[in-house]
Structure 1
């Protein structure tokens, strides 16, 4: 159970990292991929891939309501590498496309956060030629 909790914590902490996939999460728990899927579903009630996807979509919902960013920018910030996958997953989970969701929910609460602030909050702007989520040696130390 402790090892599964460690893997779930990794998903909760690193949900925006597009490199966080099933193999990486299973490695956090010290399980093989297939044993991890079975154990995680037994304990948490859903497969780890669905859990991570749900976490990412929840964050995207927050950003669509609160940040003045494009759907593509939000897609990347929440860890999806494909806009098509993001949009279809978002619609499957919420019943609305990201644009429809924003249109329905924007204006219900605080004003939108300017995109530049949201990008800085999410870790800054990626350097040209550098993959998002990678760190340089100064940041890693």
Structure 2
């Protein structure tokens, strides 16, 4: 399970599917999903979404790149899916998050700890 989670951490922007991740963990896809969830407290899909959103949060705070470009960079193929997933995980859309993060002016280390999305 750790190998598969490490692969998601490292290659979060790549298209990763359950069969490929299960092969990395040397188990069947169904067993992979069950074991990953019981081990890490969330499904592999949700974990990957959260990792992508965490990276997007950093890029929104630290760059002036467009929200669409950031969504594509972190692995989303649709701006709508990126915005919806970002809002589901953080509670606000990417544009609002960026405005709030810039307005606050808090050091990045505090912002990362305070705004880390939950599972």
Cα separation, 1, equivalents of 2:37 and 2:98: 31
Q: RMSD of the alignment, in Å? A: 1.3
Matches within 5 A, 1:23-102: 23-102=19-98
Cα separation, 1, equivalents of 2:66 and 2:78: 14
Q: Deviations over 1:29-80 (max 9, x none)?
A: 1222211100101111111111111000000000000011101100011011
SS in 2 for 1:15: coil
SS in 1 for 2:13: coil
Structure 2 equivalent of residue 129 of structure 1: none
1:5 counterpart (2, 12, 20): 2
Structure 2: gaps spanning 5 or more residues: 108-119
How far 1:109 moved relative to its partner?
5.2
How far 1:82 moved relative to its partner?
1.2
Q: Deviations over 1:63-107 (max 9, x none)?
A: 000011101100011011111111001001111111111111115
Cα separation, 2, equivalents of 1:43 and 1:88: 27
Structure 1: gaps spanning 5 or more residues: 111-141
Q: Give the alignment's TM-score, normalised by structure 2.
A: 0.83
Q: Highest Rg: 1 or 2?
A: 1
Cα separation, 1, equivalents of 2:78 and 2:63: 20
Cα separation, 1, equivalents of 2:70 and 2:100: 17
